[in-house]
Amino acid sequence: MVIAIDGPAASGKSSTAQWVARRLGFFHVDSGSLYRALTAAQLAADPAAENWTEDSVLARAEKVAFVPAERTFVPLLEGAAADDILRGTQVTQHVSKVAVMPRARSWVNEQVRAAATTRNVVVDGRDMGTAVFPNAELKIFLIADPWERARRRLIQRLGRQPNDTEIAGETELIVKRDAKDATQTVQASDAVLIDTTFLTQEDQVERIVALAKAASPKASRRP
Ligand code: CDP
């Protein structure tokens, strides 16, 4: 079974997908982590970024492995986990440049589909319910007000409540990234739209788990 969760930057897709996967005994597959891994590998090879081409970016794919760990697929960079680098500002600033490259998209889609062949999965990204898994049993499109998305992302990063100046700065970055990712961020016509601005994470997880159980008996059978 495939549950596809899509939505714009920092809409809570990954943390929600991870939690839903845990509740259902599924694996979590974060497609954005692969775009980030490819970007990190390319930044390590060529930090200037002006001359990146599809060929130079795709040449880094061999440095990235996507391996199942505890109920989630983890991208390894030259064999090592690198979460701090992947979530860091350098990668976040440059990742959209890689994400518009059609061959980078094909490579990520191949990894994600391979991960889903032998397991029940919750996949998250921008185009999981459209380009990658058009037949997913359940599709969710998560949105939230940009200010609230910025506030949540900062709490995650700083481990404290951010002030209004910090939230305003982060909101600007998120809105810019939304614009760069707009082409591939598509709500499938059969996706359930959930606006999480006024929902707790627990509420949104419960809602998706209930939808999954209604969509397929596979979601009611914990392995
Ligand atoms: O920060 P956020 O959780 O929104 O981003 P992410 O899911 O880690 O994705 C990072 C970047 O990868 C996005 O800004 C997009 O440029 C790209 N991406 C994409 O184009 N298609 C996907 N299915 C997933 C991510």
- pLDDT tens for 178-188 read 999 999 999 99
Q: What SS3 string covers 161-203?
A: CCCHHHHHHHHHHHHHHHHHCCCCCCCCCCCEEEECCCCCHHH
Average pLDDT, the chain: 95
Q: Ligand 1: does its nearest atom lie under 6 Å from the Cβ of 31? A: yes
Instruction: Give tens-digit pLDDT for 8-28.
Output: 999 999 999 999 999 999 999
Indicate whether residue 95 lines ligand 1 (CB < 6 A): yes
According to DSSP, the β-strands at 64-68 and 73-77 are antiparallel
CB distance 72 to ligand 1 below 6 Å:
no
Amino acid code (one letter) for 222? R
Mutational test site, ligand 1, from 2, 5, 14, 31, max ligand atoms within 8 Å of CB = 31
| Whether the Cβ atoms of residue 150 and residue 197 lie closer than 8 Å to each other | no
Q: Assess whether pLDDT exceeds 60 at residue 165.
A: yes
CB of 96 shorter than 6 A to ligand 1: yes
Query: What is the whole-number distance in angstroms between the Cα of residue 221 and the centre of ligand 1?
Result: 30
**Which atom from ligand 1 is nearest to the alpha carbon of 14?**
3
Mean pLDDT for the stretch of residues 171-196: 95
Instruction: Please write the tens of the pLDDT for every residue from 52-92.
Output: 999 999 999 999 999 999 899 999 999 999 999 999 999 99
